Amino acid sequence: MARKYFGTDGIRGKVGEFPITPDFVLKLGWAAGRVLADQGEGKVIIGKDTRISGYMFESALEAGLSAAGIDVVLTGPMPTPAIAYLTRTFNGQAGIVISASHNPFYDNGIKFFGGDGNKLSDDVEMKIEALLDAGIDVVPSEQLGKVSRLDDAAGRYIEYCKASTPNQLDLRGMKIVIDAGHGATYQVGPAVFRELGAEVIAMGISPDGVNINENAGSTNPAGMAAKVKEVGADLGIAFDGDGDRVIMVDDKGEIIDGDQLLFIIAMDRKKRDVLKGGVVGTLMTNLGMENALKAANVPFARANVGDRYVNELLLANDWQLGGESSGHIICRDVSTTGDGIVSALQVLKALQNSGKQLSELISAIALYPQTMINVRVQNKRDTSTIPVIVDAVKQAEIDMAGKGRVLLRASGTEPVIRVMVEGEDSVEVDSQAKKLATIVEHEMC
């Protein structure tokens, strides 16, 4: 059955536009509660990022779940991976995060975790969808769900992060710039690294409900890069709005993306003989990453774009390490989902083990020039069904003479078509990407 509401990462959209409205989210809470009630007893953990609309949707979910007879535990602003962790450790039946991740403040979304900390299965999501068009029925008053607040959620998650590396890190003597993007890591992010001994210069820690991801965080790391150079820091670490992604800056102020970070973690594990199997990337993973892993005799496999698909392929292969160039990295031996703080600590552990600077470790991987342009469209049609676009892609690949690749895909979270071109010649790559983006815009807008 085709999904009507759920995308690759829950349900997401612009606040006030269907389905991201209070009435729909109340109904979503009730439908999820009904499905969970049929599966047994247990509370639901709800967290959120720092968007102003989070208050509204938190109340709506709370009401819907209570109407279905489900108890609720509220954590307040917490990273997405923290909710996955707390759901597991509190024996929750499910976890819900109110967030639109790296999107602007005027977007929001709802994503679910099962009791094991993994994303809900397709089967459960479809059962929830099946109830969304039905009328709400409320359980008898004595069976209504109760609501409580978990006051020490931040402390519990901080301790979990600190214990996520073998032989807990000692960061004394390191100066680190942390950019929380005014998002969900604004409290716990700096705290983790300070408690491990680092001197922390914190940025993006003043959320006001509308500045999440605004010229800050992992999607806008230029400010952090400048700060690293200004204060002479050893490195910088930037998280996105809900804390499941990380981008870093090395000691020279150069931005290090998710492919490079994933490579560093993989090489450290291989050197310590603890790398289980290989590494999972996506269709967007840089070809330079694949070549570098091949040279190191590390198996590599590509999944569809999205952490859900990376995780599915990791499970299918019985591997532990995967991720995306955006900085969404999954270390399954530590966490069930992408975790920006945990991933950053894995990189710092690799640095500690090597005795090198971050700029030295990334020298082993040479990334191909890659340009990605997001084209906003009115209808996210399949580009492979539009002859003009298909012909343009073929021509671009011919022009690059087999030394590049083209990928067009519809975003699972935004009304955009992502146009990606990768190759050896940066000028040619940029030119081809702009040409294809213009064609996509003309044909689909």
pLDDT digits (tens, 9 = 90+) for 317-346: 999 999 999 999 999 999 999 999 999 999
Picking from 246, 256, 120, the residue whose alpha carbon sits closest to that of residue 185 is 246
* Structure token digits, residue 92: 């929750």
For residues 173 and 248, give the distance between their C-alpha atoms in angstroms, rounded to a whole number: 18
pLDDT of residue 181: 98
- Are 172-255 and 257-340+347-367 equal in CATH topology? yes
Cα-based distances in Å from 150 to 59, 90, 134: 16, 10, 32
Q: Which residue's structure tokens are 């929001």? A: 108
Are 240 and 224 in contact, with CB atoms under 8 Å apart? Answer: no
| C-alpha distance across the termini of the chain, in Å | 28
The values of phi and psi at residue 436, to 5°, are -65, -40
DSSP E strand boundaries for 315-413: 321-323, 329-331, 370-376, 404-410
Positive or negative, the CA dihedral 212, 58, 86, 414 is negative
pLDDT of residue 294: 95
8-state DSSP, 285 = S
What 3-state class would DSSP assign to 51? coil
Catalytic site residue from 53, 66, 99, 101: 101
Q: Catalytic site residue 101?
A: yes
* Superfamily (CATH) of domain 11-151: Alpha-D-Glucose-1,6-Bisphosphate, subunit A, domain 3 (3.40.120.10)
Looking at the DSSP bridge assignments, the partners of residue 301 are 280
Are 193 and 348 in contact, with CB atoms under 8 Å apart? Answer: no
Are 110 and 11 in contact, with CB atoms under 8 Å apart? Answer: yes
* Structure token digits, residue 222: 């230029």
- Say which CATH topology domain 257-340+347-367 has: Alpha-D-Glucose-1,6-Bisphosphate; Chain A, domain 3 (3.40.120)
Binned average pLDDT, 10 residues per bin, the chain of 445 residues:
80 96 98 93 95 98 98 98 96 96 96 93 92 94 97 97 89 97 98 98 98 97 97 98 98 96 97 96 93 96 92 96 96 95 97 94 92 90 93 94 88 86 94 96 90
What residue spans define the domains of the chain? 11-151, 172-255, 257-340+347-367, 370-444
pLDDT of residue 41: 81
* Structure token digits, residue 147: 């609501």
For residues 215 and 169, give the distance between their C-alpha atoms in angstroms, rounded to a whole number: 30
- Say which CATH topology domain 172-255 has: Alpha-D-Glucose-1,6-Bisphosphate; Chain A, domain 3 (3.40.120)
Strands of the 279-282 sheet, one edge to the other? 300-303, 279-282, 321-323, 329-331
Cα 47 to chain centroid, rounded: 15
For residues 340 and 204, give the distance between their C-alpha atoms in angstroms, rounded to a whole number: 15
Picking from 68, 114, 71, 74, the residue whose alpha carbon sits closest to that of residue 95 is 114
pLDDT of residue 167: 79
* Assigned CATH for 370-444: 3.30.310.50
